[in-house]
């Protein structure tokens, strides 16, 4: 299910021209590409939008993909679109992801992604009495088949994310975590994280999927509680309208909420749950809490750095045991040992290989070539360790620290709103982000760090020094950062009074309007979100394919 198979019924039957990647600026208002009452229009060409559009294409359902940017390989186009990601950050915490974590191009934020994948667990989805607003209206019995599909879509091994993964590396004994408090955890990397690169040729040559680029959605038009289409702007600001039978907003947690608010004359949102649009903004707070001095450096580094099998790259981590979370009334969390290793020669080889793959001349070419010439020895050693033993390079780290990654308590006052004082190139309000972290997250991070320190010391693996964030609240807030994983701003619920979309991701009270994004997560867990995003997008594709677009629109 990789977006390449075509369904026989998907061929155009209305005399429309051959479909491919089309710049919106080349279309006239009367162009057939802008009148698609038979189609599902997907707003956003990131992970959710691409997975949804490509799967709908496979299932023979007419689909149009909209992307505000263009070719992910065009640095000039990316730079030109970047100002559309600006906005204001207010409150006491800096939110880097507003600009640094987003990209307007085919592939979206996956062009910035390293490819870490893992699943939410049953405890992450359950309602927890000590965490207000927790709980999903879906359980793992519903999600697991879609996680399986998402893992196939990303080319993952499908072998899970728990301590069973140690069996792939029998020469390594697992870390001795105390199972009543701490458990082994893993993330697995996809080999193809940059989806704009991966699917560009397919989108360019498709005869059944229309992709409009440089097509910024600035509003969703709704009449009599039914979607009519999408208001668009091309790169020059020209106003166009795409008539559509069904619209899926798949623009990320910040922009999806903003688009729904821009679509409402009052700036609140759409549907019967509109008042919650933009609220419950979550991310994954990441905070360094311990300085770690290994007593068995190589032993610990080999077991807490990336590991390689023939078909998988994984990263060993440690997570809070569910029973300990409940006993101490904590949020979910995991932690990693970060080994700061300087590898200038290998870094130069990686840059050159990446530039060759993407057919670019890298900056600093001469310097990288000089470094690469000195990389023969380290490259051979790293290659031997990787392919013969499944280990990372093993170069001694100059510093080792413990970073804790946290779930957040959903807070309605942590939110995205429209900023009337600051507008984008189209004259529309930019987002205003107020990201908030509660005392529970602070307490969870310190509790987990203390337990990790106790385990490392008790087994003679390391001496540990607490960083200031372990005891000083101001230092904690100065050290914490977001992980570029925004979520929660159009949360999923059965009751329209509790969320923006229903369990099928349809906006409450609006026929034909859906959201596919981490914005629908009621509570985000600590897991990297992209695998869950794609699982939900593939589930939505199956739902939509079973419900053909009605094909007629109310007059605008």
Q: How many CB atoms lie within 10 A of CB 338?
A: 16
Higher pLDDT, 16 or 199: 199
Strand ranges (DSSP E) for 224-362? Answer: 226-233, 239-249, 286-294, 307-309, 312-320, 333-340
Give residue 380's pLDDT band: very low, low, confident or very high (50, 70, 90).
confident
Contacts of 265 (CB under 8 A, 6+ apart): none
67 vs 79: CA distance, rounded Å: 15
Q: What is the mean pLDDT of the chain?
A: 91
The string of pLDDT tens digits covering residues 49-108 is 999 999 999 999 999 999 999 999 999 999 999 999 999 999 989 999 999 999 999 999
Per-residue pLDDT, 368:
60
Nearest to 10 by CA among 50, 47, 64: 64
Alpha-carbon distance of 398 to 420, in angstroms, equals 47
Indicate whether 299 pLDDT > 70: yes
Q: Which residue has the higher pLDDT, 336 or 359?
A: 336
Give residue 393's pLDDT: 77
Quote the pLDDT of residue 470: 98
Confidence of residue 319 (pLDDT cuts 50, 70, 90): very high
pLDDT at 436: 98
pLDDT of residue 6: 37
pLDDT confidence tier of residue 351, bands split at 50, 70 and 90: low
Which of 121-125, 211-215, 306-310 bottoms out in mean pLDDT, i.e. has the lowest?
Answer: 306-310
Q: Does 325 have pLDDT greater than 70?
A: yes
Q: For position 385, what pLDDT does the model report? A: 72
- What pLDDT sits at residue 323? 97
Averaged pLDDT, 448-474? 98
**Does 28 have pLDDT greater than 90?**
yes
Amino acid 140: pLDDT: 97
Options 3.40.1790.10, 3.40.190.10, 3.50.50.60, 3.40.718.10; CATH for 47-81+88-232+271-341+400-545 is 3.50.50.60
Helices 530-545 and 140-154: angle between axes, nearest 10 degrees: 100
Residues in the chain: 556
Summarised one tens digit per residue, pLDDT across range 184-237 is 999 999 999 999 999 999 999 998 899 999 999 999 999 999 999 999 999 999
A 10 A CB-CB count for 458 gives 10
Instruction: Please state the three-class secondary structure of 369-395 as a single string.
Output: HHHHHCCHHHHHHHHHHHHHHCCCCCC
Q: Is the pLDDT of residue 555 over 60?
A: no
Residue 14 pLDDT greater than 70, yes or no: no
Burial of 15 (0-12, 13-18, 19+ CB in 10 A): exposed
> What does the pLDDT read at residue 390?
85
Going from N- to C-terminal start, the domains of the chain cover 47-81+88-232+271-341+400-545, 344-395
Residues sharing a CB contact under 8 Å with residue 223, sequence separation 6 or more, in sequence order = 554, 555, 556
Rounded distance between C-alpha atoms, residue 528 and residue 486, angstroms: 11
How far is Cα 332 from Cα 527, in angstroms, rounded to an integer?
Answer: 9
* C-alpha 196, offset from chain centre: 14
Band the pLDDT of 347: cuts 50, 70, 90: low
Percent of the chain with pLDDT over 90: 82
CB of 283 closer than 8 Å to CB of 527: no
Asked whether the predicted pLDDT for residue 370 surpasses 70, the reply is: no
Residue 396: the pLDDT is: 85
CB 38 within 8 A of CB 62: yes
Mean pLDDT of 471-482: 98
Q: What is the pLDDT of residues 161-188, one digit of tens each?
A: 999 999 999 999 999 999 999 999 999 9
- The mean per-residue pLDDT over the stretch 369-379 comes to 63
What is the number of helices (H) and of strands (E) in the chain?
15, 19
Q: Which DSSP string corresponds to 210-258?
A: EEEES-EEEEEEEETTEEEEEEEE-TT--EEEEEEEEEEE-SHHHHHHH
Q: Is the CA virtual torsion 84, 285, 500, 550 positive or negative?
A: positive
**pLDDT given at position 174:** 95
Mean pLDDT across the stretch 240-249? 97
Place of tokens 């360094």: 288
Residue 362 pLDDT: 58
Task: Report the first-to-last Cα separation within the chain, whole angstroms.
Answer: 37
DSSP β-ladder status, 333-340 and 399-406: antiparallel
Taking residues 521-541, report their average pLDDT: 98
pLDDT higher than 50, residue 552: no
What pLDDT, on the 0 to 100 scale, is given for residue 494? 98
Query: How much of the chain exceeds pLDDT 70, in percent?
Result: 88
DSSP letters along 110-148, please?
GGG---EE----HHHHS--TTSTT---SS-HHHHHHHHH
Mean pLDDT of 285-296: 97
Query: Does position 379 have pLDDT exceeding 80, yes or no?
Result: no
- Band (pLDDT 50/70/90 cuts) for residue 350 is low
Res 384 pLDDT > 90: no
If phi over 0 gives left and psi between -120 and 50 gives alpha, with beta otherwise, what is residue 60? left
Looking at residue 3, what is its pLDDT?
44
Please report which confidence band the pLDDT of residue 19 belongs to, taking 50, 70 and 90 as the band edges: low
pTM for the whole structure: 0.91
The pLDDT value recorded for residue 394 is 75
| 14: CB partners within 8 A, 6+ apart | 32, 38
41-45, 142-146, 321-325, 386-390: range with lowest mean pLDDT: 386-390
Interaxial angle between packed helices 195-205 and 47-58, expressed in degrees from 0 to 180 and rounded to the nearest 10:
40
> Please, which pLDDT band fits residue 349 given cuts at 50, 70 and 90?
low
Residue 365 pLDDT: 64
Residue 373, burial from CB neighbour count under 10 angstroms (0-12, 13-18, 19+): exposed
Q: Give the mean pLDDT of 20-45.
A: 96
């Amino acid at each position: 299910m990789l977006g390449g198979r075509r369904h026989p019924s998907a061929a155009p039957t209305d005399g429309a021209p051959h479909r491919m990647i089309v710049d919106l600026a080349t279309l006239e208002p009367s162009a057939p590409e802008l009148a698609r009452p038979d189609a599902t229009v997907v707003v956003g060409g990131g992970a959710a939008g691409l997975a949804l559009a490509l799967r709908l294409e496979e299932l023979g359902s007419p689909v149009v993909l909209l992307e505000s940017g263009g070719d992910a390989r065009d640095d000039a186009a990316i730079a030109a679109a970047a100002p559309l990601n600006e906005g204001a950050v207010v409150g006491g915490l800096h939110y880097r992801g507003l600009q640094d974590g987003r990209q307007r191009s085919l592939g979206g934020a996956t062009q910035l992604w390293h490819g870490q994948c893992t699943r939410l667990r049953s405890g992450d989805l359950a309602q927890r009495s000590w965490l207000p607003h927790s709980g999903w209206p879906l359980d793992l019995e519903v999600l697991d088949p879609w996680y399986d599909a998402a893992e196939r879509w990303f080319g993952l091994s499908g072998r899970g994310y728990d301590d069973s993964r140690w069996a792939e590396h029998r020469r390594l004994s697992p870390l001795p975590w105390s199972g009543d408090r701490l458990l082994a955890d893993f993330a697995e990397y996809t080999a193809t994280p940059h989806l704009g690169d991966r699917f560009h040729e397919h989108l360019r040559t498709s005869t059944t999927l229309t992709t409009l680029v440089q097509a910024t959605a600035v509003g969703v038009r709704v009449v009599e509680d039914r979607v009519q289409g999408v208001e668009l702007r091309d790169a020059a600001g020209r106003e166009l309208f795409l008539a559509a039978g069904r619209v899926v907003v798949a623009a990320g947690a910040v922009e999806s909420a903003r688009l729904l608010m821009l679509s409402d004359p009052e700036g609140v949102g759409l549907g019967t749950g509109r008042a919650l649009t933009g609220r419950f903004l979550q991310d994954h707070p990441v905070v360094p809490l311990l300085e770690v001095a290994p007593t068995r450096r190589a032993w610990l580094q080999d077991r807490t750095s990336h590991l390689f099998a023939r078909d998988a790259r994984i990263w060993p981590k440690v997570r809070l045991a569910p029973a300990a979370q409940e006993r101490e009334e904590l949020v979910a969390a995991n932690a990693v040992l970060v080994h700061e290793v300087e590898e200038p020669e290998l870094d130069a080889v990686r840059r050159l290989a990446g530039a060759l793959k993407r057919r670019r001349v890298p900056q600093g070419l001469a310097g990288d070539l000089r470094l690469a010439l000195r990389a023969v020895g380290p490259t051979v050693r790293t290659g031997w360790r990787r392919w013969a033993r499944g280990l990372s390079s093993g170069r001694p780290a100059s510093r080792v620290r413990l970073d804790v990654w946290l779930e957040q308590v959903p807070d309605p006052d942590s939110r995205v709103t429209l900023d009337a004082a600051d507008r984008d190139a189209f004259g529309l309000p930019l987002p205003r982000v107020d990201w908030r972290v509660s005392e529970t997250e602070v307490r969870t991070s310190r509790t987990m760090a203390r337990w990790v320190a106790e385990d490392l010391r008790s087994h003679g693996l390391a001496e540990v020094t607490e960083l200031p964030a372990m005891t000083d609240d101001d230092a904690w807030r100065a050290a914490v950062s977001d992980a570029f994983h925004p979520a929660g701003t159009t949360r999923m619920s059965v009751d329209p009074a509790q969320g923006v979309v229903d369990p099928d991701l349809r906006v409450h009270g609006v026929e034909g309007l859906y959201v596919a994004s981490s914005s629908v997560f009621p509570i985000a867990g600590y897991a990297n979100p992209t695998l869950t995003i794609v699982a939900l997008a593939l589930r939505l594709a199956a739902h939509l394919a079973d419900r053909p677009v009605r094909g007629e629109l109310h007059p605008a």
